[in-house]
Amino acid sequence: MSSSRSAVPTAAAVPSPSAPVTGGSATSATAPTVAELMDFVRSTARDEALIASLPLDPEGRTWIRLDGPGGSEAWLIGWPPGTGTGWHDHADSFGAFTTAAGALKEHSLAVRLPTDGWKTLELTDGVDRSRELATGQGRAFGQNHVHEVLNESEVAHAVSVHAYYPPLPRIRRFSRTGAVLRLEQTERPEDWQ
């Protein structure tokens, strides 16, 4: 995340709130649960001084890296009007995010996609989901969750808090035309830190 206009990392099955992390690229006896990540993003989103400290850019997203619980990766993100992430996933990481100011919209796919070895997939009917996330609302997501997050406001910034575990090993970026989802690129941590 070297510039304010870089894409921000921000997925079908959500691990049980009390389940330890399994699978993926990292596990630990102290790994946070989905519930702990959700508690963290909710409580951080209520920190008015922190939210106010985020510099907001009228043209591109801005962010501050935070210390997440149990070695998780966390971000405070500012969203100018009309900005979004594009379709992406977080590979082997699960996570949570909450809107701290303004409102965000999430479009997601209610289907588990193959993790590797494909470039183009045709999606079936009925897999699209959308949700509005007003201030104080958030959600958790599991590994390989494909979504896009948008600030659809024409006038107001939005701010959100995100946490991921294990720390993001990669982000896959997709394009979508109708029912066709196409893998466009894979980003690694060095691409956004």
Rounded Cα–Cα distance for residues 71 and 157 (Å): 29
| pLDDT value of residue 175 | 97
**CB within 8 Å of 177: residues ≥ 6 apart:** none
Rounded Cα–Cα distance for residues 125 and 154 (Å): 30
| pLDDT value of residue 21 | 34
| pLDDT value of residue 147 | 96
Which of helix, strand or coil describes residue 45?
A: helix
Angle value at C-alpha 163, between 174 and 57, nearest 5 degrees: 70
Global confidence as pTM: 0.82
| pLDDT value of residue 118 | 87
- Which residues of the chain, if any, have pLDDT below 70? 1-29, 193
| pLDDT value of residue 12 | 26
pLDDT tens digits along 70-96: 999 999 999 999 999 999 999 889 999
Rounded Cα–Cα distance for residues 24 and 21 (Å): 8
